[in-house]
Amino acid sequence: MKICLVASAGGHLKEILQLQKWYGDKEHYFVTFDRTDGKSLSKKEKTHFVACPARNPLKFALNFVQSMKILIKEKPDVVISTGADCALATCYLAKLFGKKVIYIESFCRPTRPSITGKLVYIIADLFIYQWEEVGKYYPKGKFGGSIF
């Protein structure tokens, strides 16, 4: 099994790194932004960098093309994401290519869903939320508790 781990730099990336005991012994790679924490990760893990969309249509188009190239090259079996905007294109493209998508709503969303969470929930094969209160927004999701 080959796993694509996609997360925006910062807290989202920190969250996905908490899952290391689950993915660590499997073939995997990361997709994130070219920031300090991403660069640090790339020194010890296979890491691809994509543009940060930041709700900009042109940057999203660039992210989409970059994400497609990465998925075609890497051919993962499953995509796991903790969000945020850098993950959207990868998740949708993975679903289009017939791959499994697992999304973990961010720990920083205790009462309301994130925009990325709402958009990926529609296509996720498994949607996990970390706060029980947001379960009302994700009736087909699973409460997983904190990954920290």
Tell whether pTM > 0.75: yes
**Domain that includes residue 138, residue range:** 2-143
Residue-by-residue pLDDT tens, the chain, 148 positions: 999 999 999 999 999 999 999 999 999 999 999 999 999 999 999 999 999 999 899 999 999 999 999 999 999 999 999 999 999 999 999 999 999 999 999 999 999 999 999 999 999 999 999 999 999 999 999 999 998 7
CB 138 within 8 A of CB 114: no
The tokens for 75 are 């051919």
Alpha helices in the chain (DSSP H): 11-17, 20-23, 36-42, 57-74, 87-96, 115-121
* Structural domains in the chain (count): 1
Residue 148 domain-assigned? no
CB 104 within 8 A of CB 130: yes
User: What is the domain-level CATH number for residue 19?
Assistant: 3.40.50.2000
